[in-house]
Amino acid sequence: MSKPKLALYWAASCGGCEVAVLDIAEKILDVAGFFDIVFWPCAMDFKYKDVEAMPDASIDLCLFNGAIRNSENEALAHLLRRKAKVLVAFGSCAMDGCIPGLANLTTREEIFENSYQQTPSTLNPEKTRPVPQFAAPEGELDIPKMYESVRTLAQVVPVEYFIPGCPPQPTQILNVMSAIMQGAVLPPAGSVIGAGDKTCCEECGRPRKEKHVKRFYRVWEIEPKQEECLLDQGIICMGPATRSGCGALCVKANMPCRGCYGPAPNVIDQGAKMISALSSVIDLQEPVEINAVLDQIADPVGTFYRFSVPNSMLHRKQPSA
């Protein structure tokens, strides 16, 4: 009897999700023993033509990490969608857009202008920019086209499941892989798996009290108390708006939650949820005072939507009128 087939692909991301798969330690041998790994370019020498030659729906499970940033990412998303029975948006980049998605706060032209013209180390008097096709002495080169907007995997192709995290925690990856290998009944298509069903605050364990915040601090401006809620101390912690499942590792290390596990259950927009949470903790009455406190939050969009701009109601920077 042939083994179930497994594919893993890395699109627009840092590659941390690929490493996280290996972080399940010796259990990776169980995965390799159970599955026939038919595509994993990061780890083995596979070619796109290998996947193209496979029958449609011949891959039992595909873990697709990374957002859709360019034409190559999109082409592989469509290809792997055809070939995979179960396609999983694996990690924050594929699920919500994550750090690559912050590019949606600017434009492609602004990115090109900065990268190829404005950086101090750049010397480019001809103002050369990337082009989709380039005639080299060796032949015609096809270069992926960079899109105006970063998109999530589900904004490009249908996805069965979502596994959040930047990266997903090894314990959660192992839970999902074990469930599949043991033949457990999986949740309905469209579900978030490998995560919790509460907020990160529920995993934190720090004592909380009625909040009366009169100012906000950046992490380098204050030494946080270990046994007190970080938000109580005026440190922006995304725990109230973020899904559980990571074990609140950042908070346990005395650093605020950044929000990488995405919106909490039943939350449509992670940033809007966090703004709502902050509105209930500021202990000031006068608009002038309130605005002065809010001005202490550096880069509100990059803070509240650090991991979720493409999947939020904002989606991207809107053109000026």
Residue-range definition of the domain harbouring residue 175: 5-99+149-192
CATH of the domain at 11: 3.40.50.700
**Residue 54, number of CB atoms within 10 A of its CB:** 17
Quick one: how many helices (H) and strands (E) in the chain? 12, 10
Q: Classify 102 as helix, strand or coil.
A: helix
Which amino acid, one-letter code, is at 12?
A
DSSP string, 168-216: --HHHHHHHHHHHHTTPPPPPTTEE-SS-SSBHHHHH--------B---
192, 224, 249 — which closes off a domain? Answer: 192
Q: Is the pLDDT of residue 292 over 60?
A: yes
Q: How many CA atoms within 13 Å lie on the side-chain side of 94?
A: 35
Query: Looking at residue 286, what is its pLDDT?
Result: 64
Co-location of 178 and 293 in the same domain? no
Peptide bond into 240 cis (omega under 30): no
Sign of torsion, CA 236 239 240 243? positive
What pTM was estimated for this model as a whole?
A: 0.92
Tens digit of pLDDT for each residue in 226-277? 889 999 899 999 999 999 999 999 999 999 999 999 999 999 999 999 998 8
> Is 127 inside a domain boundary?
no
Co-location of 296 and 215 in the same domain? yes
